[in-house]
Structure 1
Amino acid sequence: MEEFVDFVTEKEPVLPKAPRKRRALNRISRFLTNKYFIASVGFLGVMLFLDKNDLITTMGRREELQNLNQSKEHYLQELSELRKVKTDLENDPVIIEKLAREKYLMKRENEDIFVTEDKNKSVGTPQN
């Protein structure tokens, strides 16, 4: 009876080494087809572009926040100026008189007021 041989004692043929370029492409293709890499890229794509809090929405909200902070500073400054005017109006009779004369066209007794209009700042424009 013949003996069963489990392995071959001969040397396996030596394959020629692939050029460097092909080896690099092989490594890159193995990396790109890795299931963890594909899952990570998919997750990042969903989070950056498809989510309700995506990158574009976040950037828009950040810009809107900056605009709101600027307008807040503007209104706080305007509020402080108006408070100063209010305290002046409550305490200084000269300023009260000035406001009454300019805004409400009030006058003292025995005094005449002439209202003039500047032609350069008129509302209507002449038609030819």
Structure 2
Amino acid sequence: MKRLKHFKNKYIITALVFVVYMLFLDDVDVFNIIRQELKLNKLENEREILLEKFTETKLTLDQLDHTDALERFAREEKLFKRDNEDIFVIVKE
């Protein structure tokens, strides 16, 4: 009987309806907030990885200002060769 007494109060019923609406039925519900937080964390991790790659690329680019370094990079990384050379690529399995 005492439990039913609390549910007869219109303020408690209104508060319960409001809480249920805000938690589950609204556009910005709990599940949507959690999903967005997970997406944000994933994007922040990707951003950190891309910033590291950018820093490495910028360092490589700065090193390529010299002609000797440019030629070495082209030969080692891009497998460029001179006209009178042959290139053998050894792949470790």
**Shorter-chain TM-score tier:** 0.7 to 0.9
Deviations 1:5-40 (A, max 9, x none): xxxxxxxxxxxxxxxxxxxxx222211222111111
Q: How far off its partner does 1:117 sit?
A: 5.7
Residue deviations 1:41-93 (CA, integer Å, cap 9, x gap) = 10111111111111111110111111111111111111111100000011x33
Aligned pair 1:100/2:74, yes or no? yes
Structure 2: state its 5+ residue gaps: none
- What does 1:116-127 correspond to in 2, within 5 Å? 116=89, 118=91
Inter-partner Cα distance in structure 2 for 1:85 and 1:114: 23
Q: CA deviation at 1:105?
A: 2.2
Q: Which 4+ residue blocks in structure 1 deviate beyond 6 angstroms?
A: none
Match of 1:124 in 2: none
User: What residue in structure 2 maps to residue 55 of structure 1?
Assistant: 30
| Seq. identity, % | 24
TM-score (norm 2): 0.83
Q: TM-score, normalised by structure 1?
A: 0.62
Provide closer, same or farther for how the CA distance between residues 116 and 55 of structure 1 changes in structure 2, counting only shifts above 3 A. Answer: closer
1:89 aligns with 2:47: no
Number of aligned positions between the proteins: 92
**Higher relative contact order (CA closer than 8 Å, sequence separation 6+):** 2
Structure 1: gaps (5+ residues): 1-25, 122-128
